[in-house]
């Protein structure tokens, strides 16, 4: 038999884990190929977009910084031209030569003060229309009378342009003329300045005019947008004026030249980018129109920087893809095994629970859907245990209450017979008070041993209450007034037995002890849609609100300390009996106000027959 025939005779059935691994690897491989192609062909646009976005953010910061610089210099100029020292000189109203010299010295001191307190200012000039020049430079201030107006600033085109403006005007690529100085000024004329000029006149003498010029070193200005190590390979930034002339550049030799790229720029746009060719090299050109003072900020970025980055990224992606495939294959083997493992644990726990092992846990903690299934199973198992324990607890509680009730009956037959004997002795002795008291006590005790059911009708409970009130009036001298309102239609409703006497006892004991005139108690029964409400109201001293809040919370959560074996069934006992027999929706609540009395409200279910399950 050939090898092919042997394979034909067998049926290949891959395991579930093998199918999962193969399916997972196939999907991952296809996704990685598609992702690789999208990344590779889209990386060029991504780099361009990122560079443009980065440059836009950089340009925005530069625009803000240049605007801040201009605003600061403009503010200094506007404040300076109205300084008293400046106006005194400009008024030209001097009574003596000494006053004139003093005014000019004060003006120079003011310019020096401004220069010393603003490190970015390189020099300050005031050019008068009469040829007077005031100059403040580091460590020196000079006054010069340029009678012939030979200083280059007096060039008619520049001077008239500045005078035509009423606001500070920025001049780029300007070299201040220091030729009038009486020392070597070559070190001062070696750099360009970004100058802010503003014409002004005397308040008293409009014929006397001058121009205040503050010069900012161009090298300081260029640091706002150029890094110290900027080169042509990683991109250059420079600023042109509205005519396309370069006014700030990291290479000072290019300042004053016409930008070759300026004609390609659409000055109406705030920001744009384009690809240009220069000497067979592609360059990405990004420009941004500065809001203030309206210059153009240009960045030139060699395009080969993007290409080199793309090649590096392509190789990196390829290596990462191969390594990822290998890692995915190894991890998937382990991961698939871990997926199926919780299923076995869950099935094992279910079988144990089915066999009767309560409280069993799945012991699954994976943080995924299986963890949710395991938690739900554990909650179900725990709830079963809780329900069983709750049933046991209720049964124990019922038996304990029954025992407490029975313990309260100290040999009732013997006690009843003894009370009857004493009663007849009182009748023979003509002691009617004692006889009436014993009759009431006998009637009070009769239900204890004649009917062992923990439930009775409302009529029977009210009759029991009447006998108790008679007995208490015998004790306290008829100072207890009780008003009972029970509609005849609801007298046959069934309620737990002996629930009113403990509440009446609290009202009587606390009310009598604090009142000389006795106490008034009202008992009313009201039928509602879903329950019966019994209210007991008294006019006693009332209870503090903090104590009432604590008592009501304890009644709701059944946390009042249990009565001792020698105590009669109290408020907490009654509340627990109601909740055990009728449910948590029923029970006792208390309202009280100090000095006005207390109202106890009992909520009970609507019942017309005794539950045989709770009868002894």
What phi-psi label fits residue 558: left (phi over 0), alpha (psi between -120 and 50 degrees) or beta? left
User: 145 pairs with which residues across the strands?
Assistant: 132
Residue 524 in tokens: 């009313």
Output phi, psi for 265, to 5 deg. -90, 135
Identify the sign of the CA torsion 249, 255, 261, 265. Answer: positive
Q: What pLDDT, on the 0 to 100 scale, is given for residue 420?
A: 63
Cβ of 77: how many Cβ atoms within 10 Å?
20
Residue 547 in tokens: 């104590």
Mean pLDDT of 474-480: 79
Confidence of residue 428 (pLDDT cuts 50, 70, 90): low
**Dist. CA 121–CA 214, nearest whole Å:** 7
Output phi, psi for 150, to 5 deg. -90, -15
**CATH fold label, 451-614:** Heat Shock Protein 90 (3.30.565)
3-state DSSP assignment of residue 541: coil
Q: What pLDDT, on the 0 to 100 scale, is given for residue 4?
A: 47
Lowest mean pLDDT among 218-222, 343-347, 534-538: 343-347
Cβ of 135: how many Cβ atoms within 10 Å?
23
Cβ of 533: how many Cβ atoms within 10 Å?
13
Percent of the chain with pLDDT over 90: 11
Locus of tokens 């309560």 = 358
The domains of the chain are located at 81-222, 358-399, 451-614
Q: What's this model's pTM, rounded to 2 decimal places?
A: 0.47
**Dist. CA 284–CA 278, nearest whole Å:** 10
Q: What pLDDT, on the 0 to 100 scale, is given for residue 613?
A: 53
Confidence of residue 494 (pLDDT cuts 50, 70, 90): very high
Please give the residue that has the higher pLDDT: either 478 or 607: 607
CB 189 within 8 A of CB 175: yes
**Dist. CA 482–CA 504, nearest whole Å:** 10
Confidence of residue 159 (pLDDT cuts 50, 70, 90): confident
Confidence of residue 228 (pLDDT cuts 50, 70, 90): low
Q: What pLDDT, on the 0 to 100 scale, is given for residue 188?
A: 54
Sheet holding 132-137, edge to edge: 140-145, 132-137, 121-128, 209-217, 193-201, 169-174
pLDDT at 600 over 90: yes
pLDDT tens figures, 388-422: 888 888 787 777 766 565 555 444 544 555 666 66
pLDDT at 19 over 70: yes
pLDDT at 218 over 70: yes
**Dist. CA 592–CA 547, nearest whole Å:** 10
**CATH fold label, 81-222:** Beta-Lactamase (3.30.450)
Helix (H) / strand (E) element for 399: namely helix 369-407
**Dist. CA 85–CA 102, nearest whole Å:** 10
Please give the residue that has the higher pLDDT: either 243 or 178: 243
CB 287 within 8 A of CB 56: no
Output phi, psi for 94, to 5 deg. -115, 135
Is the peptide bond prior to 311 cis by the omega test (within 30 degrees of 0)?
no
Output phi, psi for 516, to 5 deg. -85, -20
CB 544 within 8 A of CB 594: yes
**Dist. CA 138–CA 69, nearest whole Å:** 20
Going from the C-alpha of 329 to that of each of 243, 337, 430, the distances in angstroms are: 64, 13, 108
Is the peptide bond prior to 293 cis by the omega test (within 30 degrees of 0)?
yes
Please give the residue that has the higher pLDDT: either 149 or 417: 149
Percent of the chain with pLDDT over 70: 78
Helix (H) / strand (E) element for 16: namely helix 16-80
pLDDT tens figures, 551-569: 888 888 776 554 433 333 4
CB 501 within 8 A of CB 573: no
pLDDT tens figures, 69-100: 889 999 999 898 888 888 888 887 788 889 88
3-state DSSP assignment of residue 406: helix
Q: What pLDDT, on the 0 to 100 scale, is given for residue 421?
A: 63
Alpha carbon 126 to its chain's center: 58
Q: What pLDDT, on the 0 to 100 scale, is given for residue 348?
A: 76
Binning the chain into helix, strand and coil, the percentages to the nearest 5 are: 50, 20, 30
DSSP codes of every residue in 215-274: EEEHHHHHTTTS-TT--TTT-EEEEE-TTSBEEE-SSGGGTTSBPSSGGG--TTSSEEEE
Confidence of residue 233 (pLDDT cuts 50, 70, 90): low
Q: What pLDDT, on the 0 to 100 scale, is given for residue 330?
A: 80
DSSP 8-class letter at 599: E
């Amino acid at each position: 038999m050939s090898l092919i025939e042997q394979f034909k005779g067998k049926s290949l059935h891959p395991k579930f884990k093998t199918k999962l691994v193969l399916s997972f690897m196939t999907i991952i491989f296809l996704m990685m190929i598609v992702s690789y192609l999208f990344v590779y062909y889209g990386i060029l646009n991504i780099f361009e977009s990122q560079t443009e976005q980065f440059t836009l953010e950089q340009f925005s910061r530069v625009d803000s910084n240049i605007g801040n610089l201009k605003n600061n210099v403009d503010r200094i100029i506007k404040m300076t031209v109205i300084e008293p020292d400046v106006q005194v000189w400009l008024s030209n109203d001097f009574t003596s030569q000494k006053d004139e010299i003093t005014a000019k010295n004060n003006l120079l001191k003011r310019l020096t003060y401004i220069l010393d307190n603003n490190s970015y200012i390189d020099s300050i000039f005031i050019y008068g229309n009469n040829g007077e020049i005031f100059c403040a430079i580091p460590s020196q201030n000079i006054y010069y009378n340029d009678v012939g107006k030979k200083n280059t600033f007096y060039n008619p085109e520049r001077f008239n342009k500045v005078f035509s403006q009423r606001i500070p005007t920025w001049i780029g690529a300007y070299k201040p003329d220091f030729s009038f100085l009486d020392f070597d000024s070559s070190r001062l004329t070696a750099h360009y300045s970004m100058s802010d000029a503003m014409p002004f006149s005397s308040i008293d003498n409009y014929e006397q005019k001058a121009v205040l010029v503050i010069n900012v070193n161009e090298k300081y200005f260029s640091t706002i947008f150029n890094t110290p190590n900027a080169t042509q390979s990683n991109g250059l930034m420079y600023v042109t004026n509205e005519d396309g002339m370069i006014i700030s550049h990291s290479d000072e030799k290019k300042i004053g030249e016409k930008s070759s790229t300026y004609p390609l720029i659409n000055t109406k746009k705030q920001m744009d980018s384009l690809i240009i060719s220069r000497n067979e090299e592609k360059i990405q050109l990004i420009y941004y129109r500065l809001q203030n003072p309206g210059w153009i900020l240009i960045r030139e970025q060699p395009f080969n920087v993007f290409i080199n980055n793309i090649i590096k990224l392509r190789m990196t992606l390829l290596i990462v893809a191969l390594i990822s495939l290998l890692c995915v294959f190894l991890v998937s083997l382990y991961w698939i095994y871990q997926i199926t493992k919780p299923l076995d644990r869950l099935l094992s726990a279910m079988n144990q629970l089915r066999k009767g092992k309560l409280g069993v846990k799945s012991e699954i903690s994976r943080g995924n859907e299986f963890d949710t299934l395991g938690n739900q199973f554990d909650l179900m198992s725990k709830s079963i245990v809780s329900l069983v324990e709750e049933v046991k607890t209720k049964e124990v509680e019922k038996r304990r209450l029954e025992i407490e009730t029975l313990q309260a009956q100290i040999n009732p037959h013997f006690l009843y017979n003894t009370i009857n004997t004493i009663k007849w002795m009182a009748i023979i002795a003509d002691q009617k008070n004692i006889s009436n008291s014993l009759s009431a006590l006998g009637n009070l005790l009769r239900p204890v041993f004649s009917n062992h059911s923990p439930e009775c009708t409302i009529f029977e409970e009210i009759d029991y209450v009447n006998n108790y009130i008679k007995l208490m009036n015998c004790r306290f001298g008829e100072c207890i007034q009780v008003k009972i309102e029970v509609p005849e239609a609801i007298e046959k409703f069934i309620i737990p037995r002996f629930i009113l006497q403990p509440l009446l006892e609290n009202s009587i004991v606390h009310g009598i002890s604090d009142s000389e005139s006795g106490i008034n108690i009202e008992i009313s029964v009201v039928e509602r849609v879903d329950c019966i409400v019994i209210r007991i109201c008294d006019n006693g001293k009332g209870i503090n609100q903090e104590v009432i809040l604590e008592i009501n919370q304890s009644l709701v959560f059944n946390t009042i300390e249990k009565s001792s074996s020698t105590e009669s069934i109290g408020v907490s006992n009654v509340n627990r009996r109601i909740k055990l027999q009728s449910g948590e929706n029923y029970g006792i609540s208390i309202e009280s106000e100090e000095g006005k009395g207390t109202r106890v409200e009992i909520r009970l279910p609507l019942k017309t027959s005794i539950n045989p399950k709770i009868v002894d």
